[in-house]
Structure 1
Amino acid sequence: MRLIKVADYEEMSQVAATILLGAMYREGRVNLSITGGSTPKRMYEILVPSVRAARPLGHFDDVHFFNFDEIPYRAEDREGVTISGLRSAFLTPAGIAEENIHPLDQRNYTERDAYLKSIGGLDMIVLGLGWDGHFCGNLPGTTHFGDGTCRVECDDYLRSRLVDEFERGEVDVPDYYITMGPRAIMAARELVMIASGEKKAKAVAKLLSGEVTEEWPSTVLTLHPHFALIADEAALSEVA
Structure 2
Amino acid sequence: MEVVVVPTPEDAARVVADAYTALLHATASAVIGLATGSTPLPVYRELARRHRDGDLSFARVRAFLLDEYVGLPAGHPERYREFIRTELEQHVDFAPDAILGPGDLEVPPLEAGPAYEQRIRDAGGIDLQILGIGTDGHLAFNMPMSSLASRTRLKTLTPRTRQDNARFFDGDIDQVPTHCLTQGLATILDSRHAIMLGFGRGKAQAVREAVEGPVSARWPASVLQLHPHATVVVDEDAASQLAFVDYYRTTYAGKPAGQGL
Q: Same fold (TM over 0.5)?
A: yes
Equivalent residue for 1:94? 92
Equivalent residue for 2:195? 192
Alignment partner of 1:31 is 2:21: no
Q: 1:146 aligns with which of 136, 146, 149?
A: 149
Q: 1:105 aligns with which of 103, 119, 127?
A: 103
Equivalent residue for 1:134? 138
Equivalent residue for 1:121? 125
Alignment partner of 1:207 is 2:210: yes
Equivalent AA in structure 2 for residue 114 of structure 1:
Q
Equivalent AA in structure 1 for residue 90 of structure 2:
T
SS in 2 for 1:161: helix
Equivalent residue for 1:2? 2
Please give the TM-score of this superposition, normalised by the length of structure 1.
Answer: 0.90
SS in 2 for 1:99: coil
Per-residue deviation at 1:23? 2.0
How far apart in 2 are the matches of 1:228 and 1:30? 18
- Of stretches 23-32 and 193-202 in structure 1, the one that deviates more from structure 2 is 23-32
SS in 2 for 1:32: strand
Per-residue deviation at 1:156? 2.2
Equivalent AA in structure 2 for residue 190 of structure 1:
H
Please give the TM-score of this superposition, normalised by the length of structure 2.
Answer: 0.83
Unaligned runs of 5+ residues in structure 1 are none
1:101-155 superposed Cα distances (whole Å, 9 cap, x missing partner): 12221743330112211221111101011111011111113x2111100111123
Q: 2:158 aligns with which of 140, 150, 155?
A: 155
Q: How many residues align?
A: 236
Per-residue deviation at 1:25? 2.2
Per-residue deviation at 1:171? 4.1
Contact between 1:16 and 1:194, CA under 8 Å: does it hold in 2?
no
Contact between 2:69 and 2:79, CA under 8 Å: does it hold in 1?
yes
CA RMSD of aligned residues (A): 2.1
